[in-house]
Amino acid sequence: MIIQFLVCFAANISFAVLFSAPKRQLIFCGLTGSVGWLVYLLCKDCGLGLAGCNLVATLTLTLISRIIAALQKHPVTVYLVAGIFPLVPGAGIYYMSYYFIMNETDQCAKWGMDTLKIAGSIVLGIIFGFALPQKLFNKLHSVKLPSVKNVFRGR
């Protein structure tokens, strides 16, 4: 699980670089996505279904993104777009398309329904995460955090 966390961290940072996230926010982008993936894995180990795992992970990811955005005074999308990357059902879309082209209707329908459930649960997780009032997160603007440079220098 630690290896998956670290690989996910690196992948999220790479994805954030691709989408031109501010350089000082790359660590936070990697952290949000990695925590979301860790929550997904923990839910999966608890026996929750794919849609449920994605719902809980996306909700957690959205809340963490909103907290970090308030603390760092940046838009939420900087962290949310990079962090949602590991949860997007890319393989499901690929296999659904593949079986559609190969004219295997049963497999296409199976993969399509699974992909639709996952995508819907991701949407619901984001909606539920943004349902909380912004007032709760505005209070975090006054919190002083050490800069990333000082953290790595040991100050």
Q: Is 144 exposed, middle or buried (0-12, 13-18, 19+ CB in 10 A)?
A: exposed
CA nearest to 42, candidates 12, 92, 2, 91:
2
What pLDDT does 138 receive? 77
The pLDDT assigned to 148 comes to 55
27 found inside a domain:
yes
pLDDT, position 37: 94
Q: Domains in the chain: how many in total?
A: 1
Q: Which two tokens stand for residue 23?
A: 């350089």
One digit per residue, the tens of pLDDT, for the chain of length 155 reads: 889 999 999 999 999 999 889 999 999 999 999 999 999 999 999 999 999 999 999 999 999 999 999 888 899 999 999 899 999 999 999 999 999 999 999 999 999 999 999 999 999 999 999 998 888 787 776 666 666 555 555 55
* Residue 109 domain-assigned (yes or no): no
Specify if 11 maps to a domain: yes
What per-residue confidence (pLDDT) applies to 137? 80
Residue 82: give the domain boundaries. Answer: 2-88+126-143
Residue 114 inside a domain? The answer is no
- Please indicate, yes or no, if residue 37 is contained in any of the structural domains: yes
Contact 87, 153 (CB under 8 A): no
Q: Do the domain assignments include residue 22? A: yes
36 within a domain of the structure (yes/no): yes
79-to-13, 24, 82, 114 alpha-carbon distances in Å: 10, 12, 5, 26
Please report where in the chains the tokens 């912004």 appear, as a residue. 134
